[in-house]
A and B are shown apart, each in its own frame.
Chain A
Amino acid sequence: MIIISPYSKALKNGKTNAKNYPYWKELIELIKEPIVQIGIEGEEQLVPDFRKNLSLKELESLVNECRTWISCDSFFQHFAWDKKKYGIVLWSVSDPLIFGHPENINLLKDRNNLVENQFLWWEDTEHDANKFFNPSLVLECLNANFP
């Protein structure tokens, strides 16, 4: 089983968070094993098994069960890393050298896509699908690193 954590924190201005991976549906179609989506109420459901608002204990138990996970740059990548269960983080505009962990597989398409000031709110950063890895490359990476 693979966990996916598709969404970063919702922005106050209602815009799409620039850290949210845009190709989840395509990627999910490529993955041939059970997927559990985690998140919170109000987020779009992408797979049949969507577990919302889990407590930290429930989340830990789920992480222990999973083979690995795929996440955008959000709370979950830190949580799973802390539990020593490593996975794939899909980056775009935030810097994995600052906010990531080297034990994870950090997929950043191009460092030129990083926003200059990494420490402001994300409200002013436009979402750009071109700044993310395409799903087939993510799958390749999944198979290569977590066979």
Chain B
Amino acid sequence: MDKVLCSVATRGRYQTTLPLTLNAIINQTKKVDKLVIFDDNDEPQDMRNELVYSYFFQMLTIKGIAWEWVYAGKQGQHYIHQMANGMGFDWVWRVDDDAIPEPNVLQTLFNYTHKNVGAIGGAILTPPFPVNSNNEKPTGKIELINREPNIQWSFIEKVKEVEHLHCSFLYRAGVHDYHLGLSRVAHREETLFTYGLFKKGYKILVVPNANTWHFKNPNGGIRSESNEILYGQDETVFNNLVNYSDKTIVILTGGMGDHIVFTHVLPDIKNAEIFTCYPDIVQGKSIAEAHLLFGSIDPWNVYIKMHQWKWKGSLEDAYRKMYL
């Protein structure tokens, strides 16, 4: 049986919606194999001494659910989700700290974890929510993201393949990375992530009878940044990544030797769009342009990747793993 990790990223909601979220997770009809709470608060607290939390922790133990409270790095929730993504589980159920899943949600989502499926989402309901008329059914296609309501914002009547999901969903772990080039607000992080799974050939599904109530809370929240500039930057990065989604974005930040090694991989990369430090070795656009288009270019740093992978193979094979 595939193992499921539940990850909750939280900030500023110790005493509001987080306890409701945890209670809902603990009381799922399908138990998660592990619950990790990533605490991204500016002033994190030890919640073991809080009455309600201490009961939660005891309930988890009694029910045989492993759990961990991780003090996160305040870099944004995309970093948190990437940590969860790499924790060695088959699937990750990400639940926002103001989302209250009904008891059957995980079991329902899990029922669709077939081998070609990358992510499954249910309805994410914030009352009062619109009921879509037959003429206005959202498609879930990325090209319409700014022109139609999100398909998850209303009850879902039947299983449908879409191109992206939002908020809370179950996803196949370890097959696609979160885009860490976004700012701390991580605007559109889950859209980019699920669209990335879709572009890798996995099905992205929305399914009925998996309703999560979204207690949108103006206070706190993992995205509780008010910096409009950062939102704007992330929106630009999002649009550029989607615009380039039919290409393989290659950003070469290493030295001349690294570029030379990369030339042995390049012929195998389909539809490469290259940004390079040494255009006399590998032709392409400038690194400055890559920064403008995609924000931080760390996600394309092969040395960071090799470090994350605890790499023992050749540099050439690391490039192959990155780009092929």
Contacts and interface: CB of A to CB of B under 8 A. Distances in A.
Contact of B261 (A78, A97, A117, A120): A78
A95 to B, nearest CB: 8
A81 B257 CA distance: 10
A141 B281 CA distance: 31
Contacts of B128: none
User: Looking at chain A, what size class is its interface with the partner chain?
Assistant: 10 to 19
B305 to A, nearest CB: 9
Interface string B247-279: 000000001111011011000000000000000
B306 interface: yes
Interface in B205-252: none
A62 to B, nearest CB: 16
A78 B303 contact: no
Contacts of B281: 56
Contacts of A56: 280-281
A99 B258 CA distance: 9
Contacts, number: 42
B158 interface: no
B206 to A, nearest CB: 40
A83 to B, nearest CB: 10
Contacts of B306: 98, 118-119
Interface in A96-140: 97-99, 117-120
A77 B257 contact: yes
Contacts of A74: 257
A15 interface: no
Contacts of A77: 257
B114 interface: no
Interface stretch (B8-16, B40-48, B289-297, B308-316): B308-316
18 contacts: A9-B255, A56-B280, A56-B281, A74-B257, A75-B260, A78-B260, A82-B264, A97-B312, A97-B314, A98-B312, A98-B314, A98-B315, A117-B307, A118-B306, A118-B311, A119-B303, A119-B304, A119-B311
Interface of B: 255-258, 260-261, 263-264, 280-281, 303-304, 306-307, 311-315
In the A-B complex, the 6 residue pairs with the closest CB atoms: A78-B257, A119-B307, A75-B257, A78-B260, A75-B256, A119-B303
Given A79-B260, A82-B263, A82-B264, 14 more contacts: A9-B255, A75-B255, A75-B256, A76-B257, A78-B260, A79-B256, A97-B312, A97-B314, A98-B311, A98-B312, A98-B313, A99-B315, A119-B303, A119-B304
